[in-house]
Amino acid sequence: MNRRDFIKGTLTLATAAAINPSNLFFVRADAAGNNSWWQKKSVYQVYPKSFMDTNGDGIGDLRGIINKLDYIQSLGVGAIWLTPIYSSPMADNGYDISDYTAINPTFGTMADFEELVAEADKRGMKIVMDLVFNHSSDKHPWFLESKTSRDNPKADWYIWREGINDNPPTNWQSIFGGSAWEWNDDRGQYYLHTFSRYQPDLNWENPEVRRALYDAANFWLDKGVGGFRIDAIVYIKKPEGFTDGATDSEGNCSIHNMTANQPGILDFLQEFKREVFDGHDIFTVAEANAVKPKDLPQWVGDKGVFDMLFEFSHVNVIFPEGEIWHKAADFNLVEFKKALSASQNATRNSWYPIYFENHDRPRSIDIFFPEDADKKLAAKALATILFTLRGTPFIYQGEELGFGNADADGFRNINDYDDISSIGQYELGYHAGLSEEENMKIIRKYSRDNARTPMQWDASKNAGFSVGKPWLPIHKDYKTCNAAEEDLDQESVLIYYRHLSAMRNESEVLINGDYKEYFSDNEEIYVYTRALGDKKIGVAVNFTTHDVKLPFNIFGGCTKINGNYHGEEYFLRPTEAIIYEFNN
Ligand code: NOJ
Ligand code: CA
C-alpha cells in the first residue's frame, strides 16, 4: 500500500473538530481578541554562567548575552529568562542571593544590564528575571544580622527554632539531602533551609520581609523587565506546627512533603500579585512543583496569581518515588503522555509553559528516548512536541542544538561536579549502599551539570565560549554540535527549531487551538490534534527506534507540513515526528 492508498481508504476526524465549541475561547485576550505578547512567541532560557564569556575568566557574562541577542532572536523568541544574576556567593550558582538589587560583578555591571534590556527591546524581546524569594544566601546582610542574637531587628526574618534533646526540631530532610535544620552557635538555635544550608528560608509571616521582597521585585520592574520566573514558591508558607513526618523506605522525610503548598499560601501570593505584578504588561511563571490540577484556577489564569506555572509531573515520570536519583525508573511514555495531557486539559481556560529542559534537568534526549535513538532525530521529535502543544514554548540554551548529557573527560569523579544537588544525591546513594561505580553512573545520568556545560558556539577552542579556562568542562562533541555548523546545515536541529518556532508563532491554531490526545494507552507513539474553528493540526511522534504503524489512520486526508524525516511512509519510522494539516 502506498501513501496515497493509505490516505484514500480511511476515516478522518477533521469534521468533528470543526464544530467543537471549546475551540472558541481565547485566553488572556484583549478586547480585540488578541493574545498577550508572551503567548505568541517562545521564551529562551539563558544560564548566564555558561552562555558566553567575553572577558576570558571562563565564566559567561551579560556582555556575552548582549553579543548573542541576534542568535536568540532567530529562534522566534519574545522573552529571555535569565537564571539569577544577582550578587551571590554562588553556593547554588546564584540561587543563593546576597543582594536582591545588585548585579553579580562576575556577570557585569548594572550598566551592562540596562544595555541588555535596551538591546533586547530593540529586537522585540523582554528580559525576565528569576525571583528567589523562598530563601536568601546565608551571606545576605539580613541573615548575617538575624543570626547574631535572638533580639536584633532582623531576628525574626528567618525561621529559627529550638532543638529537641540535642536534635534538630523535626526529621525533615532538605531537598539537596541532609537535615533541613542547621545549628547556629550564636543564637543557640537551628534555622530552617529547604535547600542547602547556605540558603536559609525567609520568614514570610513577617510583613517587613514581604515588603523588602516586593520592593526588590519592583526595582527590576522599574528597570523595564518583561516578567518574572519565581523560584520554589510553593515552599514560602510553613505549616502551623513543626512536627515529624512519615519516613520513606530509607528512613527519610522530605521537607517537600511537609511544607509544599500549605493552606494560607494563596493569601501571601495574592498580596505579592497586588504589590508587584498588577498593572504591568509582564508575565509571571512560577516554579510550583505541588499544585494539583484542581487547585490550578487559584494559581493561574484570570483569577489566579500567576500567568503560568512550571510543574514537574511530565519531567518527573522517571522519579515515581520523588527526586531521589538512584531510585529513578525507566522512562514510561504512557505516564509521560498522561502528565502532559493532564496539564493541557487542566489549563484549557488558562495558559501553560511547555518545557522539557532547564538548568535543573539532565538533557532531554538522554531521558525521553532509548539509548540507541538517533540523537538528532530525538531532539527534533521533542521540538515537534514543544512547538505544537498549547502554551508558551520554553527553550533551554543548547536544547536547540541537540545537546545531549555531558560527555567530557573533565567529569571523572564526584569532585569534578559543581552542582550542589549532585553532591547531595551522591551522599544519598552512598548511604543507600551503592558501589562507587553504580553511584557515579547515576550522577553522570541525572546531574544538573549535564545542562550547565558551556554553550557550543563554534568548532574553535573551548567551543568559542571563552578564551580562558571554562568553569565547567566542554562537551566532547563541540566540533560537530555547535551553533556555527548548525546554522549552515539545513538538516540541523537548530534550523528545525527556527522553522518550527516560526510556524508556531504564525499559527492561530497552534497558539489557541484545543488539544485532544489519541491512543493514550499506546506505549510507542504520542498522537494528538490541535483544533480551532475549521482548522486542525495533527501530530504523531514515534518514541521507539523501530517502525510503528498508527493504530488506525487518524491522519487520512491530511497533508504533512513538517517533520524530522523527508517524505512519508504509511508507518512512522524510528523516532519519526510528523505534523499534519487536516484538509477541509
Ligand atoms: C529551583 C532552581 O531552579 C534550582 O536551580 C535551585 O537550586 C532551587 N530552586 C533552589 O533555589
Ligand atoms: Ca566572563
For 42, what's the count of Cα atoms within 13 Å in the CB-facing half-sphere? 33
Degrees to nearest 5, angle at CA 254 with 250 and 256: 155
Which ligand gives the minimal distance to the CA of 323?
1
Q: Please report the pLDDT score of residue 306 as a whole number.
A: 97
Q: Which of 231, 311, 449, 568 is catalytic?
A: 231
Distance CA 380, CA 399 (A): 10
Fold classification of 37-137+206-410+453-503 (topology level): TIM Barrel (3.20.20)
Per residue in 84-104, pLDDT (tens digit) is 999 999 999 999 999 999 999
Identify which of 360, 419, 447, 448 to mutate to test ligand 1's pocket (most ligand atoms within 8 A of the CB).
360
Per-domain residue ranges of the chain: 3-15+511-582, 37-137+206-410+453-503
Q: What average pLDDT does the structure give for the chain?
A: 93
Q: At residue 252, does pLDDT exceed 90?
A: no
Residue of 184, 189, 194 lying closest to 163 (CA atoms): 189
Q: Give CA–CA dist 268/275, Å, rounded.
A: 11
Q: How many whole angstroms separate alpha carbon 375 and alpha carbon 371?
A: 9
What whole-number distance in Å separates Cα of residue 318 and Cα of residue 529? 26
Cβ–ligand 1 contact at 132 (below 6 Å): yes
**Index of the ligand 1 atom closest to the CA of residue 195:** 10
Tally the C-alpha atoms within 13 A of residue 525's C-alpha that lie toward its C-beta: 24
Going by their DSSP bridges, the two strands 126-131 and 227-230 should be labelled as parallel
Residue type, 498: R
The alpha carbon of 140 and the centre of ligand 1 are apart by a number of angstroms equal to 17
Q: Residue 5 above 50 pLDDT?
A: no
Pocket lining: 497 vs ligand 1, CB cutoff 6 Å: no
Taking CA atoms only, the protein residue closest to ligand 1 atom 6 is 95
Active site residue 231: yes
Of the ligands numbered here, which is closest to the C-alpha atom of 112? 2
Question: What integer pLDDT is reported at residue 487 of this predicted model?
Answer: 98
Residue 9 has pLDDT above 50, yes or no: no
> What does the alpha-carbon distance between residue 93 and residue 196 come to, in Å, rounded to a whole number?
12
Do residues 509 and 584 touch, judged by C-beta distance below 8 A? no
Q: pLDDT tens, 420-448?
A: 999 999 999 999 999 999 999 999 999 99
Give yes or no for residue 218 having a pLDDT over 50. yes
3-state helix, strand, coil in the chain (%, to 5): 35, 20, 50
* Inter-residue contact 242 to 162 (CB < 8 Å): no
| Mutation choice for ligand 1 from 46, 128, 132, CB with most ligand atoms inside 8 A | 132
> How many Å apart are CA 359 and CA 354, to the nearest integer?
15
DSSP label at residue 414: G
Task: Assess whether the C-beta atom of 232 lies below 6 angstroms from ligand 1.
Answer: yes
Per residue, the 3-state secondary structure of 338-400, as one string, reads HHHHHHHHHCCCCCCEECCCCCCCCCCHHHHCCCCCCHHHHHHHHHHHHCCCCCEEEEECCHH
Which amino acid residue places its CA nearest to atom 5 of ligand 1? 360
Under 8 Å between Cβ of 105 and 63? no
Question: Which of the 8 DSSP states describes residue 278?
Answer: T
User: Which of helix, strand or coil describes residue 302?
Assistant: coil
The whole-angstrom separation of Cα 126 and Cα 145 is 36
Please work out whether the CB of residue 233 comes within 6 Å of at least one atom of ligand 1: no
Q: Report the share of the chain in percent with pLDDT over 90.
A: 88
C-alpha cell at 146: 538575624
- Residue 7 clears pLDDT 50, i.e. is over it: no
For the Cβ of 195 lying below 6 angstroms from any atom of ligand 1, the answer is yes
Q: In this structure, which residue's CA is closest to atom 2 in ligand 1?
A: 231
Residue nearest to atom 11 of ligand 1 (CA): 95
* % of the chain residues with pLDDT over 70: 94
At residue 33 the predicted structure's pLDDT band, cuts being 50, 70 and 90, is low
| Active-site choice (287, 399, 449, 485) | 287
pLDDT in tens, 257-296: 999 999 999 999 999 999 999 999 999 999 998 898 888 8
**Which of 46, 47, 86, 95 should be mutated for ligand 1, with most atoms under 8 A from CB?**
95
As assigned by CATH, the class of the 3-15+511-582 domain is mainly beta
Cβ of residue 92 lying under 6 Å from some atom of ligand 1: yes
3-state secondary structure 462-522: HHHCCCCCCCCCCCHHHHCCCHHHHHHCCCCHHHHHHHHHHHHHHCHHHHHCEEEEECCCC
**In whole angstroms, what is the distance from residue 179 CA to residue 184 CA?**
14
Mean pLDDT in residue range 23-42:
65
Atom 3 of ligand 1, nearest CA residue: 360
Tell me which ligand sits closest to the C-alpha of residue 468. Answer: 2
Ligand nearest to the CA of 176: 1
pLDDT for 23 beyond 60:
no
Please give the torsion angle defined by the CA atoms of residues 446, 526, 285 and 69, in that order, rounded to the nearest 10 degrees: 80
Question: Tens of pLDDT along 101-138?
Answer: 999 999 999 999 999 999 999 999 999 999 999 999 99
Cα 452 from chain centroid? 13
pLDDT, greater one: 34 or 341:
341
Which residues pair with residue 77 across a beta bridge?
A: 42
User: Tens digit of pLDDT for each residue in 456-509?
Assistant: 999 999 999 999 999 999 999 999 999 999 999 999 999 999 999 999 999 999
Instruction: Let me know if 287 is a catalytic residue.
Output: yes
Average pLDDT, stretch 391-405?
A: 98
pLDDT at 28 over 70: no
Evaluate: CB of 310 within 6 angstroms of ligand 1. Answer: no
Which atom of ligand 1 sits closest to the CA of residue 448? 5
pLDDT digits (tens, 9 = 90+) for 330-376: 999 999 999 999 999 999 999 999 999 999 999 999 999 999 999 99
| 153-158: average pLDDT | 98
Residue 552: pLDDT above 80?
no
Strands 172-173 and 99-103: unpaired
Ligand 1 atom closest to the Cα of residue 92 is: 7
